[in-house]
């Protein structure tokens, strides 16, 4: 482990703050689990900083004594790095100031080993992500990945490559319909490889690696599933969403677990020859929404919105197979739930003076960034553009939904 790797290990903090993240390998200093609130990350960063920097400086001195092909960083470089990380990981963080400092560090660190430079590009990519600059984030994550997969990259901490892959996948995913087919496939591949590399054991099969990776980051598994929809791989999308649902459920996150399983049912409904399985999954998942409680009102609203979406998909399947009465009953219940949700969401999303709350600009890629509750009206399911661009439904399921809305 070299200079910057020692520095990251000494900090013992998650590579990318404020977004659901993967955890580090158990043989290294553990990062925070993806489900730990971001407030707990912020409160611990400052106390880690002073100890982390001093430990890192001691580590660099030890390595320098042994010798290295590159000249060790100067004291000025160390101070600049310390200042940049204090700003980026501090409680009172200024992202614009962090970006300026990190850019200076990247420029000064060009003569250092590739694994060290890769870590800096990855951290600056995290900064660009938080600044909602997806293209710049993709560029930095790509540089980090190229360095980590090139000569000398294997000297980095094992968490660096999956972190950079996940960062690039999320930055790409946030661009939505603007992605090219090649970029969408790249994002799907990045998610898959990141999940495999986060596995805690040397499993024999890809399926075991993915399952273990999803257990460590169910958020990433869900995101992988939604990207797979964009390349029309409905069976694999259902698989990814099922992994996510199971992983969320195992950590006691019932709302997100049910949401992910409903997505798996919608994925299967979008494929061919799996209608019966899709109906079964949707019916069981929808039934589980009853009685789920959470302090997060927004999360409950998203759950009800996903329940409504699942009911609409189920109604379309029932209508298509000729179960008219069941389809109409399911559709009616879906519209009732979505109407109740809209009324409640409209009231909660406005201040007392009636001005809507402003939402800070950020990249949207998470299960928590799904369509706002106020947008999930029953009437919108008549719009094929909404079904395609907003919900990501398959063409075949869209046709069944439009047919139901037209003929009922």
Alpha-carbon distances, residue 51 vs 3, 229, 370 (angstroms): 15, 45, 39
Per-residue pLDDT tens digits for 249-270: 999 999 999 999 999 999 999 8
CB 131 within 8 A of CB 140: no
Global pTM reads 0.85
And the tokens for 178?
A: 């603007």
Quick one: which of 146, 106, 157 has its CA closest to 128?
Answer: 106
Question: For residue 183, how many other CB atoms are within 10 A of its CB?
Answer: 15
The confidence score (pLDDT) of residue 6 equals 58
Residue 295 three-state SS: coil
**Nearest by Cα to 371 from 338, 348, 347:** 338
Please list the rounded mean pLDDT of every run of 10 residues in the chain (408 residues).
56 48 39 32 37 44 45 92 96 96 97 95 98 98 98 95 99 95 98 95 90 97 98 96 98 97 97 89 96 88 95 97 96 95 78 60 93 83 94 95 85
The pLDDT assigned to 32 comes to 29
Other beta carbons within 10 Å of 55: 16
User: Cβ contacts of residue 58 below 8 Å, gap of 6+?
Assistant: none
pLDDT of residue 397: 96
Taking alpha carbons only, the member of 11, 63, 20 closest to residue 38 is 20
Phi, psi of 18 (to 5 degrees): 75, 5
Helices 297-320 and 324-348: angle between axes, nearest 10 degrees: 160
pLDDT at 244: 99
pLDDT of residue 288: 96
User: In this predicted structure, what is the pLDDT of residue 17?
Assistant: 45
**Tally of helices (H runs) and strands (E runs) in the chain:** 17, 0
CA atoms within 13 A on the CB side of 48: 21
Contact 148, 161 (CB under 8 A): yes
Let me know: does 161 contact 149? Beta carbons within 8 Å.
Answer: yes
What's the CA gap between 190 and 200, in Å, rounded?
Answer: 18
Q: So what's the pLDDT on residue 353?
A: 57
Q: Directed axis angle between helix 3-11 and helix 114-130, to 10°?
A: 50
Q: What is the pLDDT of residue 62?
A: 41
């Amino acid at each position: 482990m070299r200079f910057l790797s020692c520095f990251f290990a000494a900090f013992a903090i998650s590579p990318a703050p404020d977004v659901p993240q993967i955890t580090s390998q158990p043989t290294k200093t553990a990062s925070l689990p993806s489900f730990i609130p971001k407030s707990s990350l912020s409160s611990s960063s400052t106390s880690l900083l002073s100890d982390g920097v001093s430990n890192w400086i001691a580590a660099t001195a030890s390595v320098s004594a042994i010798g290295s092909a590159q000249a060790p960083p100067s004291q000025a470089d160390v101070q600049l790095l310390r200042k940049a990380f204090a700003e980026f990981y501090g409680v009172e963080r200024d992202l614009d100031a962090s970006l300026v400092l990190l850019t200076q560090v990247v420029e000064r660190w060009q003569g250092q080993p590739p694994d060290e430079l890769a870590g800096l590009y990855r951290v600056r990519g995290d900064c660009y992500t938080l600044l909602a600059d997806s293209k710049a984030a993709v560029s930095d994550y790509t540089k980090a990945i190229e360095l980590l997969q090139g000569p000398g990259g294997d000297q980095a901490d094992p968490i660096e490559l999956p972190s950079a892959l996940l960062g690039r996948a999320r930055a790409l995913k946030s661009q939505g319909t603007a992605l090219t087919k090649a970029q969408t496939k790249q994002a799907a591949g990045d998610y898959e490889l990141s999940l495999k590399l986060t596995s805690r054991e040397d499993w024999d099969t890809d399926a075991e690696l993915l399952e273990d990776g999803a257990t460590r980051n169910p958020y990433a598994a869900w995101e992988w599933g939604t990207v797979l929809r964009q390349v029309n791989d409905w069976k694999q999308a259902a698989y990814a969403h099922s992994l996510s649902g199971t992983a969320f459920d195992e950590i006691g996150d019932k709302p997100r677990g049910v949401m992910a399983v409903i997505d798996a049912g919608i994925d299967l409904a979008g494929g061919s020859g799996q209608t019966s399985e899709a109906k079964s999954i949707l019916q069981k998942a929808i039934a589980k929404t009853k009685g789920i409680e959470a302090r997060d009102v927004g999360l409950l609203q998203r759950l009800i919105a996903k329940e409504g979406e699942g009911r609409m998909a189920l109604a379309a399947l029932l209508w298509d197979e000729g179960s008219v009465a069941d389809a109409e009953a399911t559709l009616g219940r879906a519209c009732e739930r979505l109407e109740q949700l809209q009324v409640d969401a409209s009231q909660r999303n406005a201040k007392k003076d009636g001005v809507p709350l402003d939402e800070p600009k950020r990249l949207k890629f998470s299960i928590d960034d799904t369509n706002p509750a106020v947008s999930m009206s029953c009437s919108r399911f008549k719009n094929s553009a909404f079904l395609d661009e907003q919900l990501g439904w398959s063409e075949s399921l869209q046709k069944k939904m439009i047919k139901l809305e037209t003929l009922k």
